[in-house]
Structure 1
Amino acid sequence: MGKLRVLELYSGIGGMHFALTESSVPAEVVAAVDVNTTANEIYKHNFPNTLLLPKTIEGMTLNDFNKLDFDMILMSPPCQPFTRIGLQGDVSDPRTKSFLYILDLLPRLNKLPLFILLENVKGFETSSARDTLIKTLKECKYHFQEFMISPTCIGIPNSRLRYFLIAKASPGSLPFQTASEILEGFPKAFNEGSPTVSDSYCGSPSSNLKDDRDIIYKLETARDLERKRSQNSEESVRRLQDFLEDEGHRTDMDQYLLPSKILLRYAMLMDIVDPNCRRSVCFTKGYGHYVEGTGSVLQSCTDVQLESVFKSLEGLSEEEKLKQLSQLKLRYFTPREIANLMGFPSHFSFPPNISVKQQYRVLGNSLNVHVVAKLINLIIS
């Protein structure tokens, strides 16, 4: 096969492009398309030689697409229409319009792309947008497979469960036995040689954990603690310390320490991990700005026991509580550390004018590079 011509839609900060490079598949991104000015600035900073079209997809005509003469589409359509925070508007949400436009154009292209790879949030799999996607692929006679995959499946200590679909045009078929149901994790045959991680750590909740509703400490039940201990015992998953920056070589690390008012107000709600942990929760675009449900925070001082600190807080004044909590040296993960967990290479960087808040935001909207690279290898093999 010659060098593939790839069209990257909703290109963001280039996660798909980095995954394509990592896959080592001979390919060239002939165009990247996105309307987000911050993401586009970061994309251009990292891929200065790639044609970047800062326009809406609906603003491109059928002829515009045909001129690009692409063999593969990589895309990650807006996820907000399929999330609770986005009100799950599905196809009625204006942000779905561009995706439906792509599906309308696909059968009318001069040449069907050989390969399609799509990523989206959990929730997309039950949407009307997904139904329209499947209907279109069937009409165009694509062979396809859907997946729910978290990076934990390949030994990365970060839960980021996402929907993926890969499709290959006829004739020919995908290099594994496809199934009508959505697969959890990668196909078994393709996963040989990769870390063997339990299904519960790849995204499915374990059913055999004790359902104990009594709070042990920090609003955590026995079930919560047992689940976290189980995740931290998965030796095939790497430790967080492998993804952290060297604090001794950064003079500005104090800016990531949690402010006093955040500690006092949200300490009980935070997901706290330390460098030896083999788990962290999904980082979202609100990380560093909102606390609850946006990502884990790191306990920098591991000489102090987390459980003993929280059990000592009852009955203390705010000043005394703050003194106890401060021993833990809780901090946010830096944008570079989150990028590491999401598989971005060491040479990925942000332009100097992009604020930390903007960095968190675009990373929260991105995808795991290693997972997508593995899927690209799967679809091409």
Structure 2
Amino acid sequence: MEHLRVLELYSGIGGMHCALKESGIPGQVVAAIDINTTANQIYRHNFPDAPLWNKTIEGIALDDFNKLSFDMILMSPPCQPFTRIGLQGDISDPRTKSFLYILDLLPRLRRLPRYILLENVKGFESSTARELLVKTLLECGYTFQEFMISPTSVGIPNSRLRYFLIAKIATENFSIQISDVFPHLAEGDSSEQPTVLSPTCPGTCQPEEEVQGGQVLYKLETATDAQRKMSQNNNLSIRQIQDFLEPQMEVNMEHYLLPPKTLLRYALLLDIVQPTCRRSVCFTKGYGRYVEGTGSVLQCCTETKMESVFTGLDQYSEEEKVQRLLKLKLRYFTPREVANLMGFPQSFSFPEEISTKQRFKVLGNSLNVVVVARLLQLLVS
């Protein structure tokens, strides 16, 4: 196959670039574009030879894009306008401006790129921005396929359900079986199943999260929650957390232990996993700073049973509660471990001057490299 010239928009720390390399597709990034200075520092550290433009996309003229003569666009536009916990401003959100500019430019390019891959959060599939994207692609003569995919479908024990679209210039019918791309489908949790979206009903065909209900057990967890977690941990097609951990001797884990104050305030809300688990929740940019809903924490002392610590916890004084909770040796995952769970290769690294807080933040804004690499292989096959 000939060498593809690739344009990487919203390049961040280089998740798309890593995926391109992992896919084995012969390609060269002719320009990576992002305005986040920390992300650009990390990108440059890992890909010193790639032309990196620290510019706003809407500040780049059509002529400059034409000069790049690219065959493929990889992009992960800002997700905040579409996320379920945000304001869902969609195209009225100023952060969508650059994406709308891309849609305006695409039909006017001197030469249309043969391939496009886009990633975004669950919620994008029912947005006006997605409708405009599809309309533009069809007018330009592309055929496309849309998916909802989580890393569990490639055997990685991390939930990160995301919307993907792959498009190519229409030469033949572009319709596939999801099992052709992701043969190891997650079992037991419908919200984690990879799904091909129908163009006619993208807002309703994606898997929905399980409705929570029932009696609350210890740790503010319902019987449904506990059953779902047990089902995920029994899915042998997914690897164990321990496969993604850093060797103990290589990093001082004391730095990552949850402090007593955090344990006391948030213990009942923590998503706790053990090294033998086959599940973890999505890591967000707030990991390490905020506790609720930002990612799982690891129980290092597995000899202590979680039930024995949490059952009847309210009966104890604050000091006794802390002593009981400390027995679990709960810690945050390290940035390298989060990167491992997001499919980044071992060759990927952070410059020393980037703080732990900054590393968590940029990783939370990135994507799963292995999932994108699989989709790229499908796209150009």
User: Normalised by the shorter chain, which TM-score bucket?
Assistant: over 0.9
CA distance in 2: counterparts of 1:196 and 1:11, whole angstroms: 29
Classify the secondary structure of the residue corresponding to 1:81: coil
Q: 1:287–1:360: 8 Å Cα contact kept in structure 2?
A: yes
Letter aligned with residue 228 of structure 1: K
Classify the secondary structure of the residue corresponding to 2:5: strand
Counterpart of 2:83? 83
CA distance in 2: counterparts of 1:202 and 1:83, whole angstroms: 18
Counterpart of 1:20? 20
CA distance in 2: counterparts of 1:310 and 1:82, whole angstroms: 36
CA distance in 2: counterparts of 1:166 and 1:84, whole angstroms: 23
Letter aligned with residue 163 of structure 2: Y
Cα distance, 1:188 vs. partner? 2.3
Please point out which of 183, 200, 213 is paired with 2:190: 200
Q: How does 1:59-78 map to 2 (within 5 A)?
A: 59-78=59-78
CA distance in 2: counterparts of 1:248 and 1:268, whole angstroms: 30
Alignment partner of 1:278 is 2:268:
no
Aligned pair in 2 of structure 1 residues 268, 3: CA closer, same or farther (>3 Å)? Answer: same
CA distance in 1: counterparts of 2:31 and 2:173, whole angstroms: 26
Letter aligned with residue 367 of structure 1: L
Alignment partner of 1:352 is 2:341:
no
Q: 1:35–1:55: 8 Å Cα contact kept in structure 2?
A: yes
Letter aligned with residue 274 of structure 1: Q
Q: 2:20–2:27: 8 Å Cα contact kept in structure 1?
A: yes
Q: How does 1:307-346 map to 2 (within 5 A)?
A: 307-346=307-346
Counterpart of 2:218? 217
Counterpart of 1:11? 11
Classify the secondary structure of the residue corresponding to 1:80: coil
CA distance in 2: counterparts of 1:141 and 1:196, whole angstroms: 32
Q: 2:181–2:375: 8 Å Cα contact kept in structure 1?
A: no
Counterpart of 1:368? 368
CA distance in 2: counterparts of 1:249 and 1:67, whole angstroms: 46
**Post-superposition CA distance 1:320-378 (Å, at most 9, x none):** 00000000000000000000000101011111110000000000000000000000000
Counterpart of 1:230? 231
Cα distance, 1:172 vs. partner? 3.5
Q: Following superposition, which runs of at least 4 residues in structure 1 exceed 6 angstroms of deviation?
A: none
Q: Which stretch shows the higher mean deviation, 145-154 or 211-220?
A: 211-220
Q: 2:272–2:299: 8 Å Cα contact kept in structure 1?
A: yes
Q: 1:78–1:95: 8 Å Cα contact kept in structure 2?
A: yes
Q: 2:181–2:374: 8 Å Cα contact kept in structure 1?
A: no
Q: State the percentage of identical aligned residues.
A: 66
CA distance in 2: counterparts of 1:122 and 1:197, whole angstroms: 18
CA distance in 1: counterparts of 2:209 and 2:165, whole angstroms: 25
Q: How does 1:109-120 map to 2 (within 5 A)?
A: 109-120=109-120
Q: 2:304–2:327: 8 Å Cα contact kept in structure 1?
A: yes
Kindly tell me the number of residue pairs found equivalent between the two proteins: 367
CA distance in 2: counterparts of 1:318 and 1:247, whole angstroms: 30
Cα distance, 1:197 vs. partner? 2.4
Counterpart of 1:170? 170
Counterpart of 1:257? 257
Cα distance, 1:190 vs. partner? 3.2
Q: 1:158–1:341: 8 Å Cα contact kept in structure 2?
A: yes
Q: 1:201–1:231: 8 Å Cα contact kept in structure 2?
A: no
Letter aligned with residue 150 of structure 2: S
Cα distance, 1:220 vs. partner? 0.8
CA distance in 2: counterparts of 1:212 and 1:125, whole angstroms: 27
**Post-superposition CA distance 1:148-173 (Å, at most 9, x none):** 00001111100000000000012234
Counterpart of 2:201? none
Alignment partner of 1:189 is 2:190:
no
CA distance in 2: counterparts of 1:308 and 1:44, whole angstroms: 48
Q: 2:179–2:185: 8 Å Cα contact kept in structure 1?
A: no
Counterpart of 1:305? 305
Unaligned ranges ≥5, structure 1 = 178-185
Cα distance, 1:317 vs. partner? 0.2
CA distance in 2: counterparts of 1:349 and 1:154, whole angstroms: 23
Counterpart of 1:182? none
